Structure 1
Amino acid sequence: MSEELSLTIDLAEDSMKKAIVHLEGELAKIRAGKANPQMLDGIMVDYYGSPTPINQVGNISVLDARTLTIQPWEKNMLQPIERAIIASNIGINPQNDGVIIRLFLPPLTEERRKELVKRCQGEGEHAKIAIRNIRRDAIESIKKLQKNGLSEDVAKDAEAEVQEMTNKYIALVDKHLASKEKDIMAV
């Protein structure tokens, strides 16, 4: 019976780690004033009829703190990349010079910074909800194991362990949010 219990706890912890990794990925997409190639993750380019991630059709590099460049591997991909960036609605207009595409990031206004912080907090809240749902599912599994013969003391200890793990991962979400908020609000 303890094997099923440890499997339930390990599964819950693994799922919570995945929630944190997802949060880190989402926060990386939110720009904090500095050019970052990860901002373009998730943008799909029409590559001969099939949607392809932008980083697979060209080389993305950081020119300076406010400029990204995209060097397509095929010259005829300039237009589709430009269209994909405009359609992605990331708030940046691409500059196409016929060889490379430049993305100039405008300096963030105070109002825009506050919007980005709110967006980060929304992502953080999604992560916290996911972690709490994982906790709920784990505790339900423990209760089922208890009905199937697991002792009450062991079940209570396992529930306490799951709660402790939940607290740890929610604190980690708060830490990531505080770091990103500090990054965004720095002028």
Structure 2
Amino acid sequence: MINDIKAEAEKKMKKSLESLNNAFNKIRTGRAHPSILDSVTVNYYGQETPLKQVASVNVEDNRTLTVSPWEKNLMPTIEKAIMASDLGLNPATSGDIIRIPMPMLTEETRKEMVKQAKADAEHGRVSIRNARRDANSMIKDLLKEKEITEDDERKGEDEIQKLTDRYIAEVEKMLKAKEEDLMAV
């Protein structure tokens, strides 16, 4: 029973890390990376479709992304979708390719992005702690129903705490890497 609770808590904690990773991918650094456009959706025959399903996104050089639509008539729609996204990017069409130069980051924007990364990391930590709280309350419920002993409860809570510590350390590691990435000139 405790192992089931622990497995469920670990599953929730992994989802928190994945969510944090997605949030970090949306925070752009000065370098071009295709995942920056993951949140962009394009109106494709009346359906909001992720950009990567209607075009290929590649890195041309360190500071430029290229988007190659699979259908030529989508060029203006894709360009409008990129401009409408809150990423602050200005695409430029040249022939059958859309080029997206990554703007230089100022010191001020870098600091704002670090603040955003820290806020996202805190959301991740809170989510992990919530998974711990839920698991511990399930263990306490088992104790109240006399399905486990107090020793089992203590052991279960210790295991959940170790799991929590491990995932929080992973959040810290991800945040440190993102901060270094953002502050690199």
- Answer yes or no: is the 8 Å Cα contact 1:29–1:38 preserved in 2: yes
Shift of 1:97: 2.3
**Whole-Å Cα distance in 2 between the matches of residues 147 and 88 of structure 1?**
51
In the aligned structure 2, how far is the partner of 1:22 from the partner of 1:48?
A: 29
Q: Secondary structure at the match of 2:84?
A: helix
1:22 aligns with 2:19: yes
Distance 2:86 2:178 in 1: 21
What is aligned with 1:178?
A: 176
The correspondence for 1:62, drawn from 59, 64, 75, is: 59
CA displacement 1:137-175 (0-9 Å, x = unmatched): 000000011111110111011011111111111111011
Mapped partners of 1:184, 1:42: distance in 2: 19
TM-score (norm 2): 0.97
Partner of 1:84: 81
Contact 1:78 1:98 in 2 (8 A): no
- Give distance in 2, aligned partners of 1:7 and 1:161: 12
Task: Select between 98-107 and 110-119 the one with higher mean Cα deviation.
Answer: 98-107
CA separation in 1, counterparts of 2:95 and 2:83?
A: 17
Q: For 1:42 and 1:7, how far apart are their aligned partners in 2?
A: 34
Gaps of 5+ in 2: none
Percent sequence identity over matched residues? Answer: 47
**Counterparts of residues 1-187 of structure 1 (less than 5 Å):** 4-149=1-146, 150-187=148-185
Paired residue secondary structure (2:31): coil
Which residues of structure 1 form unaligned runs of 5+?
none
CA distance in 2, matches of 1:139, 1:61: 45
Distance in 1 between the 2:152 and 2:76 partners?
62
Superposition TM-score, scaled by structure 1 size: 0.96
| Cα offset, 1:6, TM superposition | 0.8
- Once the two structures are overlaid, the 10-residue window that deviates more, 125-134 or 26-35, is 26-35
Deviations 1:52-98 (A, max 9, x none): 00001111110000000101000000011011111112001111224
1:8 is matched by which residue type in structure 2? I
Query: Which contiguous aligned blocks of 4+ residues in structure 1 show a shift greater than 6 angstroms?
Result: none
